[in-house]
Structure 1
Amino acid sequence: MEKIVKFKPKNVGKKILLAVAGIFLLLVIFGSFYNVSEQEQAVVTQFGKVVATNSAGLYFKIPFIQRVHMVDMTTHGIGIGYKVDGNGQNITVDDEGIMITSDFNFVDIDFYLEYKVSDPIAYIYNTDDPEMIMKNIALASIRSTVIDYPVDEVITTAKGQIQAEAKERLTKALTEQNVGLTVVNLTVQDAEPPTDEIKQAFKAVETAKQGKETAINNAKKYESEQIPAAEAEADRIVQNAQAAKEARIAEAEGEASKFNSIYEEYSKYPLITKQRLFYEALENVLPGAKVIITDGNTQQMLPLDSFSGSSSDGDN
């Protein structure tokens, strides 16, 4: 005999209702909790109004009423003046990189901007595209800085100062605009003339600058070699002059002492001193002469030497 099974609509409806209730319960359970990682912050809203911001951890929310918006808080980077294609090659963006300098020249300059979210609520609700606004502000800040410098400084010596000033301006502007982003770092990647002709001209300028530096260094080297020699020669001349001075002073003092001693003797015995000085003077003037002292009447002396110069033997 065949057994007839009767279909009961009420049992099927009950099972479907239980299944829907189970699914809804699972959705409620799983939708009531959310996890925030170390690199994120969660912004919780209720009917469009922010009710909480949470850092890393596991949290509960009211399902279907509260919504959670995850915000990445790590540092990101974008290029200004260039973009990276799928092969990792840098492609110049002329509308961004070409800028004018204070001496009305053009320069192609690239920057790399590192940024991160500073205010998750402002980042989500204050603007539709905070990254685009930040990039436009960065371009304006960079152009306002580059235009204060001549082209040769932009390409060579002023890169560090330019990136510091541009970062300061960008940070201030982002704070005023309150887009929820902050600058981590802004660096000059490259700066060069925009055309080949200008590049060659700047290479010539750089070569001239290097020649200038070489000449200055050689001059400083020559100076460092010559100054010590000149100082040594000057010291030698001064020392010789000092020695000559001391010798002349000593000689003058000796002559003065000698004169004083003679004067003392003269003051005691004037006649004898005069005669002695006279004889000494004759000896100095006529060192080889024979001196004969007479009273003026004597014609001959013993031995018989004639005043006329003839000997006694000749008279005989």
Structure 2
Amino acid sequence: MKQKKQFDAAKFGRTSLFIVIGLFILSVVFGSFYNVSEQEQAVVTQFGKVVATNSAGLYFKIPFIQRVHKVDMTTHGIGIGYVLDGNGQNITVDDEGIMITSDFNFVDIDFYLEYKVSDPVAYIYNTDSPEVIMKNIALASIRSTVIDYPVDEVITTAKGQIQAEAKERLATALQDENVGLTVVNLSVQDAEPPTDDIKQAFKAVETAKQGKETAVNNAKKYQSEQVPAAEAEADRIVQNAEAQKAARIAEAEGETAKFNSIFEEYSKYPLITKQRMFYEAMENVLPDAKVIITDGNTQQMLPLESFSTGVAGGESTTEGN
């Protein structure tokens, strides 16, 4: 009885081993084949290197060595400037939807972007978040386009032209960035004036702008008034300086000529010239001095003024007679 149980256990062990081996073989066989649908493309890598890109069909891969990454190639869509709530209503995203126009007004504009994968290899390996990069590029392209139009045209007649220009810019930028995505369509969903809060903020900006313009105009007016006056004052100072310069030069030249003439006379008659220069100097230094003539022995000195006064009086009397 004991031997029978041991035999049954050994048989069960062998059976289990065969089952495990069979399952492993089946997993290897079935894991070596993969199917790619019409809406997908498969990127096959081997040790991290891309070895094949396959479209729809049934394919074989080396088990445990090659890996398959399937990429959805269908068209997808996202909203720019809004999101959908649970009831399907559009909720404005101010950071995306509020844009400035060429006449410095704000507008609330929404876009719907349709895109798809154009290069599955670049989509997988060139960046970790290709959709995020694409959305940022789309926002930049849209803003660069909207700012070229006044607010009235953005809201009314220029929607078609705006979406065409923004789509072209986005397509070029995506190609340059090489994130593996391409734009299918970009359409304006809605464009309207912003909310009351945004309007108030815009009015505050306009007020600040007008204040800036007023300050600049006042500064320019002050400049136009002060600069000519300063230039005239500078001209007056320069002219006065030139006049003083000319006067100083003329005075110096006159003094030089006077000195030269005195020096010539001095060279001819040194003593007489010295006396004359002394008398002239005394007249300048002591203009009110009284002149008295004496021989040094006379006890009484008579001033010359009395004689000159008498002579002058006599002349006057004679003339009167």
Specify the alignment match of 2:46 in structure 1: 46
Give the letter for the 2:173 counterpart. Answer: A
Q: Residues 29, 197 of structure 1: CA spacing in aligned structure 2 closer, same or farther, 3 A cutoff?
A: closer
Tell me, in whole angstroms, the C-alpha distance in 1 between the residues paired with 2:55 and 2:164.
32
Give the letter for the 2:84 counterpart. Answer: V
* Pair 1:5-2:4 in alignment: yes
Tell me, in whole angstroms, the C-alpha distance in 1 between the residues paired with 2:53 and 2:102.
47
Tell me, in whole angstroms, the C-alpha distance in 1 between the residues paired with 2:172 and 2:112.
18
Give the letter for the 1:5 counterpart. Answer: K
Q: Residues 197, 31 of structure 1: CA spacing in aligned structure 2 closer, same or farther, 3 A cutoff?
A: closer
- Secondary structure of the residue aligned to 1:86 is coil
Tell me, in whole angstroms, the C-alpha distance in 2 between the residues paired with 1:4 and 1:150.
98
Superposed displacement of residue 135, structure 1 = 0.3
1:279-298 → structure 2 map (5 Å cutoff): none
Tell me, in whole angstroms, the C-alpha distance in 1 between the residues paired with 2:50 and 2:87.
42
Superposed displacement of residue 84, structure 1 = 1.2
Aligned-residue RMSD, C-alpha: 1.8
Tell me, in whole angstroms, the C-alpha distance in 2 between the residues paired with 1:36 and 1:13.
39
Q: Residues 197, 68 of structure 1: CA spacing in aligned structure 2 closer, same or farther, 3 A cutoff?
A: closer
* Pair 1:115-2:120 in alignment: no
Tell me, in whole angstroms, the C-alpha distance in 1 between the residues paired with 2:197 and 2:93.
20
In structure 1, the gaps of 5 or more residues are 200-316
Superposed displacement of residue 36, structure 1 = 0.8
Give the letter for the 1:95 counterpart. Answer: D
Q: Residues 5, 96 of structure 1: CA spacing in aligned structure 2 closer, same or farther, 3 A cutoff?
A: same
* Pair 1:127-2:100 in alignment: no
| Cα displacement string for residues 219-238 of structure 1 (whole angstroms, at most 9, x for unaligned residues) | xxxxxxxxxxxxxxxxxxxx
How many pairs align? 198
Superposed displacement of residue 4, structure 1 = 6.4
- Secondary structure of the residue aligned to 2:99 is strand
Q: Residues 198, 21 of structure 1: CA spacing in aligned structure 2 closer, same or farther, 3 A cutoff?
A: closer
1:161-172 → structure 2 map (5 Å cutoff): 161-172=161-172
Instruction: Name the % identity.
Output: 84
Tell me, in whole angstroms, the C-alpha distance in 2 between the residues paired with 1:142 and 1:92.
16
Q: Residues 30, 38 of structure 1: CA spacing in aligned structure 2 closer, same or farther, 3 A cutoff?
A: same
Give the TM-score taking structure 2 as reference length: 0.59
Give the letter for the 2:26 counterpart. Answer: L
Superposed displacement of residue 20, structure 1 = 1.4
1:152-191 → structure 2 map (5 Å cutoff): 152-191=152-191
Superposed displacement of residue 54, structure 1 = 0.6
Q: Residues 153, 22 of structure 1: CA spacing in aligned structure 2 closer, same or farther, 3 A cutoff?
A: same
Give the TM-score taking structure 1 as reference length: 0.60
Specify the alignment match of 1:308 in structure 2: none
Give the letter for the 1:78 counterpart. Answer: I
Structure number with higher helix proportion: 2
